[in-house]
Structures are given as structure tokens and as C-alpha cells.
Structure 1
Amino acid sequence: MSLLKFRGRLRSIRSLNSILSALQVVTVVRMKRIRERFAVTEEYLKPVKDVLAGRVQPKKLDKKILVVISSNRGLCGGFNTQILAKAKAFLSTHPPSPSLEKRGGGVLSVSGGEFGIVALGKRAANYFRDRLVVSEFEALERPTFAKIRALWQKVFELNAEVYVAYNAYKSTAVQAPTIVRLFPVPEELISDKEPADYILEPSAAKLTEELFRHYLEARFYQLVIASQMGELAARLMVLKGAVDNSKDLINDLVISINKLRQTNITRDLAEIIGSAEALRGKR
């Protein structure tokens, strides 16, 4: 390869390295913010969980919904692949029904016995497009409690048993695909013990109903935030690997360019010396 081509490739890889490094910094900052929000939400839900534990009564629902939280973009390794595989395995025991029908706004209606899909993220929506009940992309870009609560209202109005599939954040290198039940009774609120002795006003039944509805909204928001943490962690690992590889390529190219330059200089010197010797011999 010529020296000109080597230098062109070096410029391209250095430019790519700059872009990837910038993305890495942005991802680190976003992940720090998401971690703080998750920690605040976790702390907020603890006392609510203590009040509701053992107070919410289960009920039987024929309809079932699986909320699949993926990402809108790639560059996050196996993040989407593993949660889609987990959801597919979960749905294998609940085959799709041919009686799904479109209703107003292009939303699918769900009849008894069916298992519909609510997709958060373009990857999940594309994968389960034949079973979609609701899909949402924008709320996942910058998730706020107001946006996620509005989405939860759409899911809640379906009056179905709700499961959520998401990548639980364990560490920067590990995101575990997980499926939890959120409605009618979240698994963490099921308790064989007597409910904690709290004074509930105006009435225990009224307060429990309102508090449980709010808990579902906040818990759903927390699951979305947890998935965001997993997505950013996976993206950070991919970007780190890409930046490290680009640095290695830059070092290799610099060495190759220097070797090629040295070879060219040595060849030119040899030609000059040879020409000088030839001229001296003619004299």
C-alpha cells in the first residue's frame, strides 16, 4: 500500500476515534444521571412497598400482556438480542391467536386467552410487529415519569395481566434479561404475613387502592429506568472496545507509515549515493 493510502486510512480512523470517544463521554454522563434516578426511585418505593405488602388481593384476568423493553438504536452489543430471546421463550407457552383485530388508531384489541405485546423501543416493535397491542418509541429517548405514566395508563386500561421483560442492570459488563409480573399483583407485594400495622385514613380500602395505582406507575417507571441503565452499560462496553481497537489500529498505522517512510528514505539515499558514485567513476 502506498504512503498516501496509509495516511488517508489514518485520518479516517482518527476521525472515527474522536467520534467514538465523544459518544463514550456522553454515555458515561447519561448513565450517571440514570443511576441517580434509579436510586431515588428505589428509595421512594421502599416505604410504599412496606405499606402495600399483603394488602393487595389477587384477581383472575383472562387477557395477558407482555411489555418488552428494548432500545431504539443499536451499538449496544447483545442487549436487544438477549431480551428478545427471553421474551420469545416466555411466549412459547402462549401461542398467538388468529383473532387479533385492528381497532381505532391502528391499535390491536386483545380478547380472552391471547397474549399481546406492548413494545417499548423500535427493536422490540420490529421483532413483534405481528402481535403488537401498543408501541412507543419517543418516551424511551428521554424517559420522564409523566411520559411513562401516560404509557402505563394505556396498558392498564387493557385490563389484562401484565408482565414486563427487561434487561436488569447487574454491572457495567452484565445485564440479565428478566421477566416480572406487574399486574394484578406484583411479585414483591405478595406476602403470607399480616400487613404492617399502619393507621390508614380516610379508609384502608380507599388508600390502598389509590396507593397501589401510584405504586404501579412508579414501579413501571423504575423498570424502564433499569432497562435504560442496562442499555447504556452495554453501549459503554461496545464503545470502550471500539475506542481501544481504534487506538491499536492508529498505533499500527503510525508504525507502518514510519517504516514505509524509512524504506523510501533509504531507497532514495541509495539512489543518490549510487548516482554520485557513477558520476565520480566517469571522471
Structure 2
Amino acid sequence: MPGIKEIRSKIKSVQSTSKITRAMEMVAASKMRKAQDRMKIFRPYASNMRRMAVHLMQGNPEYSHSYLIERKTSAVGIILVSTDKGLCGGMNTNISRLVLSKIQEFSKNDIEVYTSAFGQKGLNLLTRIGSNLLSQETHLGDIPDISRLLPVLDVQLKAYIDGKIDSLYVASTRFVNTMRQEPIFLRLLPLSTNLYDPYHETDSQFPIADTNVYNWDYIYEPDAKTVIDNLLDRYVDCLLYQAIVENMASEHSARMVAMKAASDNAKRVIDDLQMIYNKNRQTAITKEISEIVSGASAV
């Protein structure tokens, strides 16, 4: 049985760890609220962007953008969105397993895979497995800057336009609620004909744009082709940005839950150690009293 001093030292050590995890939990909770607000603000923007693109394509059915044309798949691009830091539960592990399984599936079908990475954890994974890494960006901070995201995406888009890849996917973590975040693997290109929302297809608050109710048309400047091209480029940018903000909200939520669990576990460990400490102290006191009584009786 450990001594009293050793137990007291362990209690102080666990208490120090508990203070750290509690502080990290509070920081994550604060960042989580801001990330959720940023995500909720962006969702209507992405929804309206999607609806406008559908209306434009309805008005010009004779024009088919390269982003909408299905191809025979011989090579694909994968953009992996992860975190820069750990201590967020199994979030990075789950998305890494999903990406690895998809890469293996593509390899079995003799489909070449080209990758890009957002976040240090994902970059480490893709580097470790020796993937064909085209672009990367790490340490995005708490507020993603679109100017840092687009260069990574543009490399994959250029590969798609040049015919180097036939499909483009993004792997990230979708925010469901504070307690639940799920890994997702979505196809960015080619886009679905009706531009279904890949993040919230069943979300009643962000319905899929209805393509059969109204006939839409606009006055274009300079022309319909240029407007549709620019709008679809912007729409793909929106899908990537949405993946980033969803992943950040998931990260802070997962870290808050993980740190709360760590704090609760530390409290239980402290209670157990305190009980052992009290028993040892009681045993030591009883032993001293017995020794004193025995000595007095002998005298």
C-alpha cells in the first residue's frame, strides 16, 4: 500500500491536471459558441447561393458547365479537413479511418488518388501513408480566412479542369449537435444536377432548392455563360468553406466534451485517492495509539 506522502503527492498532481482540463473545457465552450454562430450565419448564405445557381441553370438549360458533366472515373481528388491540435476525442481518428477506407476502396478499383489537406493532423496522416499530396494548409486559426483556403482548392480544381482527376471529394466532420459530430465524405465535383445540399439534405430549415415550381430568368451582364461560370466557381468555394466551419464547430464541441470527461475522471480519481489517504492515515493513527497503549501497559 502506498505511503501517505506518496498519496498526497498524487492528489496534488491530479488536482493540477484537473485545473488544466477545466480551463481547456471553458475555453473550448467559448470558442464553440462563436464557431456555431459562424456556422449558422453561413448556412443561409450557402443555401441561397445554391438556390440562385439552380435558377440560373433553369433559365439556360442549353448550357452545361464542366462542373456538371459526369465522367468515367480513373482518378479522384480528396480534400481532407482535420484539426491542427488534438485533445478532441475521437474526431480526427474517425475522419482518418473514413479517408483511409475510401483510399483503399479507390485503389482496389485501380483509381488514382490525389490529396490535399487542411489541418496538421490530416497532413500528418497523408504524409505518413505516402499519398499524392497536391496542396496543403495548416494553422487556420479560429476564424478561417477564405484567401488561405482558395489556393488549396484551386490546385484540385485545376487538376479537374485539366482532366487529371475526374471527381473531387471533401472529407470533414459535420456538426450535428454539441454531443454528436459525424465524419462525412462528400462529392464536390461533378455537382449534382439540382445542386442538392450535401450537408443538410434532410434539414427542414435549409430545404433543397425546388427546380419544378417556377421558371426563372435574369438579365445578365455581361452574358449568361460568364455569370453561371463565376457563380458555380463561387458555389464550390462555398461548399469547401462550409466544410471548414462545420469542422471547426465540431472540433470545439468535441474538445469541450473530452475535457469535461477528463475533469470528471480527475474528480473521481481524487475521491478514490482521498479515501485511500484517509484509510492509511486512520491506520497509522490507530497503530500509534496501539503502540502508546502497549508501552503504557508495559510500564
Q: Tell me the alpha carbon deviations over residues 185-230 of structure 1, each in whole angstroms, 9 at most, x when there is no partner.
A: 2576168935751424313322222222222212211111112222
TM (norm. structure 2) is 0.79
Cα gap change, 1:241 to 1:192, in 2 (>3 Å): closer
Counterpart of 1:95 in 2: which secondary structure? helix
Counterpart of 1:11 in 2: which secondary structure? helix
Q: Which moved more, 1:138-147 or 1:42-51?
A: 138-147
> How many Å apart are 1:256 and its aligned residue?
1.6
Partner in structure 2 of residue 31 of structure 1: 32
Partner in structure 2 of residue 264 of structure 1: 284
1:197 aligns with 2:209: no
For the residues of structure 2 that align with 1:269 and 1:43, how far apart are their CA atoms? 75
Contact 2:25–2:257 (Cα < 8 Å) also in 1: no
Partner in structure 1 of residue 60 of structure 2: none
Unaligned runs of 5+ in 2: 58-63, 197-208
For 1:111-126, what aligned pairs fall within 5 Å after superposition? 114-126=112-124
Partner in structure 2 of residue 232 of structure 1: 252
Cα gap change, 1:245 to 1:15, in 2 (>3 Å): same
Counterpart of 1:77 in 2: which secondary structure? coil
For 1:108-257, what aligned pairs fall within 5 Å after superposition? 114-129=112-127, 130-131=130-131, 132-139=133-140, 142-159=143-160, 160=165, 161-185=167-191, 189=195, 193=211, 197-202=216-221, 203-257=223-277
Cα gap change, 1:34 to 1:126, in 2 (>3 Å): same
> How many Å apart are 1:28 and its aligned residue?
0.8
Q: Which moved more, 1:205-214 or 1:249-258?
A: 205-214
Amino acid at match of 2:295: S
For the residues of structure 1 that align with 2:229 and 2:186, how far apart are their CA atoms? 21
Amino acid at match of 1:4: K
Partner in structure 2 of residue 59 of structure 1: 69
TM (norm. structure 1) is 0.83
Which protein shows a greater Rg? 1
Runs of 4+ in structure 1 off by over 4 angstroms are 60-63
Cα gap change, 1:192 to 1:222, in 2 (>3 Å): closer
For the residues of structure 2 that align with 1:255 and 1:196, how far apart are their CA atoms? 74
Q: Which moved more, 1:221-230 or 1:19-28?
A: 221-230
Contact 1:169–1:175 (Cα < 8 Å) also in 2: yes
Paired positions, count: 265
Q: CA RMSD in A?
A: 2.6
Cα gap change, 1:186 to 1:233, in 2 (>3 Å): farther
Partner in structure 2 of residue 108 of structure 1: none
For the residues of structure 2 that align with 1:248 and 1:188, how far apart are their CA atoms? 53
Amino acid at match of 1:26: V
Unaligned runs of 5+ in 1: 99-112
Amino acid at match of 2:49: V
For the residues of structure 1 that align with 2:210 and 2:293, how far apart are their CA atoms? 95
